[in-house]
Structure 1
Amino acid sequence: MVIRPSEQQLRDPRSLSVLVNKLRPLDPIGWVPEDLVMPAGLENPSGHPIRAAAAAALQVMAAAAAEAGVPFRLVSGYRSRELQQSLFEGYSASDGVAAAETYSARPGHSEHQTGLAVDLDDGAGHAFTSAFGDTAAGLWLRRHCAEFGFILRYEQGEQPVVGYIYEPWHFRYVGTEISLDMRESGIINYEEYVGAEPAPDYAAG
């Protein structure tokens, strides 16, 4: 049975169930989590904190991955609206706005601002590449992330719904109740799971 969060939970930036995409910016748009902490037990070259609940789960997942011989690193965590704006403007200047919007969120629309999203890699040159999905660490994370409350947020072929290209490095903490239910239900994107409309593009205007 699909357990759908309430609309209030999907809108509340404090909720672990908050939905952020091209049609649903954070409200308030400059929101900053109050419980950011530095996760322990794994390399964190980004120096980024994440929310406490996500950090606790990430630490347990990192320990399990290390025990399985597939350690991973945190290469991006919480990003402020200002940092996201700087990144988006840089990508837009380099690749053009249309291309940038396939892989980078506009400020206020990024899951990273929730403090619940993490970008992971294996420290072997696969950061922010689709190739990470085929590495030992990437495959392990895909198989086991739900057991720790995470979902692979931007799956292959889901751009018409989620708005972004395949990102096998981008995981979102939602808690095990939702992550395991999504796995059991065979639903691979969060929009479909919560009954939200597809968000391939930003609203006009």
Structure 2
Amino acid sequence: MDDHGSILRSRAERQRQERRKKRLSFRLTLIFTVVTGMSLLLLSGVHLASDSPHTEGKKGRKNTAIALTKHKTIESDQNATKKESHTDEAEKIEVDTDPTSHTVLVNQTHPLPDGYVPPDLVIPDVPFPFRENLPKKQLRREAGEALEQLFAEAEKQGMRLYAQSGYRSYERQKELYAFKGNRAGGAANQVSARPGTSEHQTGLAMDITCSAVGFKLNRSFAQTREGRWVAEHAHQHGFIIRYPEGKEEITGYTYEPWHLRYVGKKMATELKRKNLTLEEYYEVDLQKK
């Protein structure tokens, strides 16, 4: 009976051990399965994240941003080029050929219309070295008023200027040109304008002088106190020295420190500041006539 009981107990013990092994094996298998599954899920999630539309959207937006930046850079360069071109075009000032304009260009290549006579000639209230009521006393109204102011300012500085020769008709210029042509020969064009090309016909030019040079029109006027003052301050009243020294080839005329031309304060100030003649301002080359 005891042997039989021992056998039964031994068998029962083996069965319990086998059941424990099976449970352990099942648990290990379950754990392995869970771990493996989680690993696969994690790997799958990373892969999906890298290929997801959201990620692709970021890449697409980045590429689009780069492309837009390049496009804007090219467009900016093109606009800059166009702007420079427009600026160059804007800087090319059209030559003023309106005979009634205060900024009109009149020279050997830009004559006045046939028969032109200024519309508003007056005699300015300034000193003249002669008493006769001659046409050459006249200037256009605005130019005459500016000359009065210039002379008045000179008076305040202790100087007395004189107006010698202003408006000159086509016929009168024709007479002077013929007279000077006989004396100067081939050089007549450098000392006198051909009829129709004289600034005096515009009514905007006045030759001035002073007692220190005997009221004459010559270069020594530039060395007088009056001449130096005029050269420095004429622009403040709208006048320029029309034929300056050193620019004879540009203007086509010899140096005339006495010849004032009214162009208005704005242009006169600009020409003075930049040291330009009207030909240079309008980019006119007499050598290409």
**Quick one: distance in 1 between partners of 2:200 and 2:162?**
16
Name 1:119's counterpart in structure 2: 207
Deviates more, 1:44-53 or 1:69-78: 44-53
Distance 1:5 1:52, change over 3 A: farther
Q: Deviations over 1:57-108 (max 9, x none)?
A: 0000000001111211111000000000000000111221x22211100000
Give me the whole-angstrom Cα distance separating, in 1, the residues matched to 2:122 and 2:251.
28
Q: Does 1:41 align with 2:126?
A: yes
Q: Is the 8 Å Cα contact of residues 5 and 17 (structure 1) preserved in structure 2?
A: no
| Equivalent-residue separation in structure 1 for 2:167 and 2:215 (angstroms) | 20
For the aligned residues, what is the CA RMSD? 1.9
Checking the alignment, whether the CA contact within 8 Å between 1:126 and 1:132 is kept in structure 2 is no
Corresponding residue of 2:101: 15
CA contact (8 A) 1:16 1:116 kept: yes
The structure number with the bigger radius of gyration is 2
1:104 equivalenced with 2:192 (yes/no): yes
Higher relative contact order structure (alpha carbons within 8 Å, sequence separation ≥ 6): 1
TM-score with structure 2 length normalisation? 0.64
Q: Note the C-alpha offset of 1:42.
A: 2.5
TM-score, reference length from structure 1: 0.89
Measure, in 2, the Cα distance between the counterparts of 1:99 and 1:109.
Answer: 16
- Secondary structure of the 1:152 match is strand
CA drift of 1:29 comes to 2.5
- Choose the corresponding residue for 2:142, options 25, 35, 53: 53
SS of 2:190 mapped into structure 1:
coil
Distance 1:91 1:11 in 2: 27
CA offsets 1:158-180 (integer angstroms, 9 cap, x no match): 11110000000001000001011
Q: How does 1:50-199 map to 2 (within 5 A)?
A: 50-96=139-185, 98-124=186-212, 125=214, 127-184=216-273, 186-195=274-283, 197-199=284-286
Where does structure 2 lack aligned partners over 5 or more consecutive residues?
1-89
Q: Point out the structure with the larger helix share.
A: 2
Shift of 1:3: 8.4
The question of 1:31 aligning with 2:120 is answered no
Partner of 1:102: helix, strand, or coil? helix
Distance 1:4 1:69 in 2: 42
Cα distance in 2, alignment partners of residues 164 and 37 from structure 1: 27
- Partner Cα separation in structure 1 for residue 161 and residue 287 of structure 2: 30
